[in-house]
Amino acid sequence: VPDLGEIRATWDRPEGWTSGGDEWSGAWGGTEALWRGTLLPRIERYLPAPAILELGPGQGRWSRYLAGACEELVLVDVAPYALEACRDRLAGHGHVRYEVGDGRSLPMVRDRSVDLAFSFDSLVHAEADVLAAYAHELARVLAPDGVAFLHHSNMGALRRGAAVARALPERLRRTATRAGLVPSLYAWRAESVTAAWFARECERAGLACLGQELVRWEYGRFLTDAITLLTPRGSRWERRPVVVRNRAFTRGAPPDPRLYGASPRSAASAAPS
């Protein structure tokens, strides 16, 4: 898995991008379908939100939807090139701030100012030190009733299988991966991170974990990824955490109401803009 410097180098140049991020929406049938059918139903009970922070917006695949659901949107990415594309995509939106970050701290974000922190398809390569640093920053910047929705790796839970895969000659590895015997290494998920560890780390940082969805990505049958929902301790959302498993995430399986609530209200204002 690349370190932060390599991650920045990957996304900070035109070659890192072909269609502004839409190229990764294929499994769901496109970006609009992924937003409407998968992401929005998981966060709509928290929208509209006065202030939204997006970590790793890239070229703004989700930012254009988020911009329509808040009064202030702060985009923090390590790659200035990606943020420039966001600027073009969101031209005319005076309520968006574009901030180049160091990949682990948020000095540009005020204490207790964020109602919804969102990150999807960006922190899966982030190793434990990066996620721990962000957890501590989120504990500082989330508003008392704020919520964070973070997509990250769970590959640490599959470490043994990954080690076996790595030890195999390439052809055999491909066969074993296709047969679902070992997790795919192609996904580049951070191996120092498990969902359970991240939940504990967030609790240590002063946050309450509302729950986690362990999800299968496009590579094989393993739950390589996780979505973690967080809130400050004492917030009106705090409750006993719920952990659910979803092997059909990339096929648009609906959100589990035990984690995301029974009947999210409509978020018409979260239309793309």
Q: Which residues lie near ligand SAM (CB under 6 A)?
A: 7, 11, 21, 55-58, 61-62, 76-79, 82, 101, 103, 120-122, 126, 130
- Produce one character per residue of 4-20: b if its CB has 16 or more CB atoms within 10 Å, e if not: beebbeebbeeeebeeb
- Least distance (Å) between residue 234 CB and ligand SAM: 27
Query: Which one, 74 or 126, has the nearer CB to ligand SAM?
Result: 126
Q: From CA 267, how far away is CA 230, in angstroms rounded?
A: 20
Handedness of CA 109, 111, 114, 118 (dihedral sign): positive
- Least distance (Å) between residue 102 CB and ligand SAM: 8
> Taking a C-beta distance cutoff of 8 angstroms, is the pair 202, 229 a contact?
no
- Least distance (Å) between residue 15 CB and ligand SAM: 13
> What backbone torsions phi and psi does residue 156 show, to the nearest 5 degrees?
-60, -30
How many residues make up the chain in this entry? 273
Query: Which one, 82 or 223, has the nearer CB to ligand SAM?
Result: 82
- Produce one character per residue of 136-161: b if its CB has 16 or more CB atoms within 10 Å, e if not: bbbbbbbbeebbbbbbbbbbbbbeeb
Q: What angle do CA 255, 261, 262 make, to 5 degrees?
A: 90
- Least distance (Å) between residue 53 CB and ligand SAM: 11
Query: Which one, 77 or 213, has the nearer CB to ligand SAM?
Result: 77
- Tokens 């640093």 -> residue: 133
> Taking a C-beta distance cutoff of 8 angstroms, is the pair 87, 63 a contact?
no
Q: Which tokens belong to 154? A: 């769970």
Query: Which one, 7 or 74, has the nearer CB to ligand SAM?
Result: 7
- Least distance (Å) between residue 263 CB and ligand SAM: 27
- Least distance (Å) between residue 54 CB and ligand SAM: 8
Query: Which one, 123 or 209, has the nearer CB to ligand SAM?
Result: 123
- Least distance (Å) between residue 47 CB and ligand SAM: 18
Query: Which one, 7 or 259, has the nearer CB to ligand SAM?
Result: 7
Query: Which one, 41 or 261, has the nearer CB to ligand SAM?
Result: 41
Name the residue whose CB lies closest to ligand SAM: 58
Q: From CA 216, how far away is CA 226, in angstroms rounded?
A: 8
Strands (E), 59-188: 70-77, 96-100, 114-123, 142-153
